Amino acid sequence: MDISNDTLLDLHHRMVRIRLFEEEAGKLQESGKVPGALHLYVGEEAVAAGVMSHLSAEDQITSTHRGHGHLVAKGGDLRKMYAELYGRSTGYCKGKGGSMHISDLDLGMLGANGIVGAGPPIAIGAAFSNKYRGTDRVTICFFGDGASNEGTFHEAANMAALFKLPVVFVCENNGFGEFTSQARHQAIKDVADRAAGYGMPGIITDGMDVLAVYEAAGEAIARARRGAGPSLLECKTYRFFDHVGVRGMGVVYREDAEVLEWRKRDPITLFESRLEEMGLLTTEAAAQVRERILFEIREAIAFAEASPFPAEGALMEDIYTVRGAAR
Amino acid sequence: MARGPIGIIANPASGKDIRRLVAHASVFDNQEKVNIIRRTVLGAVAAGCDEFLYLHDGHALVLNAIDGLDADATFTEVETPGTASALDSERAAARMREAGAAVIVTLGGDGTNRAVARGWEDAPLVAISTGTNNVFPRMVEGTVAGAAAGLVASGKLALADAARQCKLVRVEVEGERDDLALIDAVLLDEPFVGARAIWTTRVLRTMVLTRADPAAVGMSAVGGLLHTLTDADDGGLVVQVGPGGGTVVAPIAPGLFEPVPIAEVRSLAWGERVEVAGPGILALDGERERRLLRGQRAWLRVERSGPWVVDVARTMRLAACRGLFRFEAGGVDDAN
């Protein structure tokens, strides 16, 4: 695997940035400062970081209801993200979308989505456009094990393979569709098995090992970029926090022991010990990385809190596109 | 007459790695593994075995297979740590040995069988290939593989008649626990385990092979296209990858022929140790497994102390010769 020291440290930085963004967001929600439901990405950082490391702003992604990590890894503006969580007019959606609708077209982030399985058709639309226009852009479609049961996923997978579209379906299989364990929502355990049914390769990788994701995603993306068509990359991962928020809604659906077992494979801890062994990171340097990111986060939260709510008159703005005014 | 139960170890993770992207390996879906287990059980029951032990994997392959299956047999789960990793296969094999299993049927690739051998080094095996580019397990129909296992488990055929003991590579790592490989142990100039499978030649350094098979795919083929060595032959083969001795073009993954520069090829006598040193990764049976730190040494040697592998075709020919499936008119009911 060809990977520079700079890239290794960048992977680490992206994961820590996601972790800290989410931990702070969780605290804000639990303290009542941030309204609405937040689906936090803690535990799954290796997937977003390992995939996004191969993308430029020209490449696109579609995200899920658990989408903060994707945008943070793609270089999202933390100020606009927190402002959106706070419902402020300086946010990504001018404070009217909230956590599950953040998008950033300049960064190729085509949107988080509150609807499970809504991303795949959007992703193949973008991929079709990229192919039609003769670009070498790639679209990544993030989705979960739950979404793989939705008709939208199957239709999109079929068309992607049929038209040989430059899209990579990245399944973040965290073992649960909301509060329902995978064993109770599908008769299979490997979503990658479904790829063969559409005529594309499907592979599985360890979603807690950022280098395993990096290597596999790199090949899937390169394949799509050179016109060889779509593929499905299933990353076995786990959400450390509850489906919603940190401690969640008190729904009993998984054992604490299971969470503890997965936490032993914390992707950031695993990677940090590897970087330390390689002499690329020290405990002090890791603390400095955290401190720098926390400084950025505190500044972003202050920005959000100082920002105004949307004006009442703005309620109907950005709902419909006026004919001829579309970009 | 009964010798013991049949153990079933099916690896739900085999046949799904990165070689589907970087090469042209086939996808082995788990439903097919479930079907193979069903056929194996039915074959074994027909051959006279009615007692099974199994590894309960996270995908419940065996439970799915026996759900509603019309087979007059008992199935007992063996205790494993439930890590959803190779460790489960290793521990399950050890438990099956303790429980007196006569033979283990494995579904997986070289890596799966290596895990089983780590738990029970000279295990009697019927190895069914459901992996990527396998040298150790065979592509064999589950029905017949099950029948062969059943003949051994029921004591109708002696293991020594049905099976032969395989070679292995003993891997000693300085300051750490020993390891083994069934087909190949390879030092890679590579700092990371990453996506595990070997699919690039640039990082290959030293390989020690128990079998060098020109009709295989993977590291065994690299050696095999230089100097053929079967499992029946004595000793092993060492290949030093590097400049100086020309190039061999070999299939290192399905559909992926690549040039490999060869510095040296030589035979390895029984027990002769090959020293390698880090930094690097030791790939065992095709998977990046053990990391060697800078200066850390490891020693590789070939021994004949591996699993006893049932030759399914030979076993069934023996069964035919001895009339083990043949009954006088009206005698079938009595046979079971």
| pLDDT tens, residue by residue, A30-50 | 999 999 899 999 999 999 999
Considering the domain architecture, whether residues B228 and B151 belong to the same structural domain is answered as no
Kindly report, residue by residue over A63-108, the tens digit of the pLDDT.
999 999 999 999 999 999 999 999 999 999 999 999 999 999 999 9
Contact residues, chain A, for B13 at CB < 8 Å: 204
H or E, element range at B113: helix B110-119
Of the candidates B29, B31, B195, which has its C-beta nearest A212's C-beta? Answer: B195
Is the pLDDT at B129 greater than 60? The verdict is: yes
A201 in contact with B at a CB cutoff of 8 Å?
A: yes
Q: Which residue has the higher pLDDT, B333 or A144?
A: A144
Among B21, B35, B132, the residue to mutate for chain A (most A Cβ within 10 A):
B21
DSSP, res A99: G
A267 φ, ψ to 5°? -60, -30
Of the candidates B13, B195, B293, which has its C-beta nearest A215's C-beta? Answer: B195
A167 within a domain of the structure (yes/no): yes
**What is the pLDDT at residue B67?**
92
- State how far the Cα of A192 lies from the Cα of A169, in Å rounded to an integer: 10
A206: nearest CA in chain B?
A: B195
Is the pLDDT at A251 greater than 90? The verdict is: no
Contact residues, chain B, for A50 at CB < 8 Å: none
A192 within a domain of the structure (yes/no): yes
Considering the domain architecture, whether residues B259 and B317 belong to the same structural domain is answered as no
**Torsion (CA) B30, B35, B40, B43 in degrees, nearest 10:** 180
CATH number at residue A300: 3.40.50.970
A327 within a domain of the structure (yes/no): no
A59 within a domain of the structure (yes/no): yes
**What is the pLDDT at residue B329?**
81
**What is the pLDDT at residue A298?**
98
Of the candidates A203, A220, A231, which has its C-beta nearest B17's C-beta? Answer: A203
Contact residues, chain A, for B27 at CB < 8 Å: 192-193, 195-196, 201-202
Considering the domain architecture, whether residues B50 and B179 belong to the same structural domain is answered as no
Is the pLDDT at A318 greater than 90? The verdict is: no
Considering the domain architecture, whether residues B207 and B157 belong to the same structural domain is answered as no
Average pLDDT over residues A133-142: 98
- Least Cα separation, residue A258 to chain B (angstroms): 11
Considering the domain architecture, whether residues B193 and B156 belong to the same structural domain is answered as no
Of the candidates B12, B31, B194, which has its C-beta nearest A215's C-beta? Answer: B194
A323 within a domain of the structure (yes/no): no
Contact residues, chain B, for A200 at CB < 8 Å: none
CA atoms within a 13 Å half-sphere pointing along the CA-CB vector of A71: 31
- State how far the Cα of A183 lies from the Cα of A170, in Å rounded to an integer: 20
Number of domains in chain A: 1
**Cα Rg of chain B, angstroms:** 20
- State how far the Cα of B251 lies from the Cα of B231, in Å rounded to an integer: 20
Kindly report, residue by residue over A163-204, the tens digit of the pLDDT.
999 999 999 999 999 999 999 999 899 999 999 999 999 999
Considering the domain architecture, whether residues B14 and B143 belong to the same structural domain is answered as yes
Contact residues, chain A, for B189 at CB < 8 Å: none
Considering the domain architecture, whether residues B162 and B176 belong to the same structural domain is answered as no
Structure-token match 């990977």, residue found = A3
- State how far the Cα of B209 lies from the Cα of B198, in Å rounded to an integer: 15
Is the pLDDT at B98 greater than 60? The verdict is: yes
Cross-chain residue pair A189–B30, CB shorter than 8 Å: yes
Cross-chain residue pair A203–B20, CB shorter than 8 Å: yes
Q: ipTM score here?
A: 0.82
A262 in contact with B at a CB cutoff of 8 Å?
A: no
B1 within a domain of the structure (yes/no): no
A325 within a domain of the structure (yes/no): no
Q: Name the band, by pLDDT with cuts 50, 70 and 90, for residue B336.
A: very low
A27 within a domain of the structure (yes/no): yes
Residues in chain B: 336
Contact residues, chain A, for B22 at CB < 8 Å: 219
Domain that holds residue B224: 168-303
Average pLDDT over residues B166-175: 98
Percent of chain A at pLDDT exceeding 90: 91
Contact residues, chain B, for A1 at CB < 8 Å: 190, 192, 194-195
A224 within a domain of the structure (yes/no): no
B38 within a domain of the structure (yes/no): yes
Beta-strand relationship, B103-108 and B124-129: parallel
**A128 exposure class (CB count in 10 Å sphere: 0-12, 13-18, 19+):** middle
Total beta-carbon pairs less than 8 A apart between chain A and chain B: 71
Considering the domain architecture, whether residues B293 and B313 belong to the same structural domain is answered as no
Considering the domain architecture, whether residues B186 and B235 belong to the same structural domain is answered as yes
Number of domains in chain B: 2
DSSP states of A180-217: EEHHHH-S-S-GGGGGGGGTS-EEEEETT-HHHHHHHH
State whether residue A241 is helix, strand or coil: coil
Is the pLDDT at A2 greater than 90? The verdict is: no
Read off the pTM.
0.90
Considering the domain architecture, whether residues B202 and B330 belong to the same structural domain is answered as no
- State how far the Cα of B158 lies from the Cα of A142, in Å rounded to an integer: 54
Is the pLDDT at B186 greater than 80? The verdict is: yes
Is the pLDDT at A257 greater than 80? The verdict is: yes
Q: Name the band, by pLDDT with cuts 50, 70 and 90, for residue B1.
A: very low
- Which positions ≥6 away from B283 have C-beta within 8 Å? B184, B185, B186, B187, B188, B198, B219, B289
Considering the domain architecture, whether residues B155 and B177 belong to the same structural domain is answered as no
CATH number at residue B213: 2.60.200.30
Domain that holds residue A282: 5-213+244-307
Considering the domain architecture, whether residues B14 and B135 belong to the same structural domain is answered as yes
**What is the pLDDT at residue B334?**
53
A259 in contact with B at a CB cutoff of 8 Å?
A: no
Average pLDDT over residues B84-107: 96
Kindly report, residue by residue over B48-91, the tens digit of the pLDDT.
999 999 999 888 899 999 998 999 999 999 999 888 889 999 99
Give whole-number Cα distances, B284 to B48, B185, B287, B304, in Å. Answer: 36, 5, 5, 17
Average pLDDT over residues B217-227: 97
**A 272-291 residues inside an 8 A Cβ radius of B:** 277-278
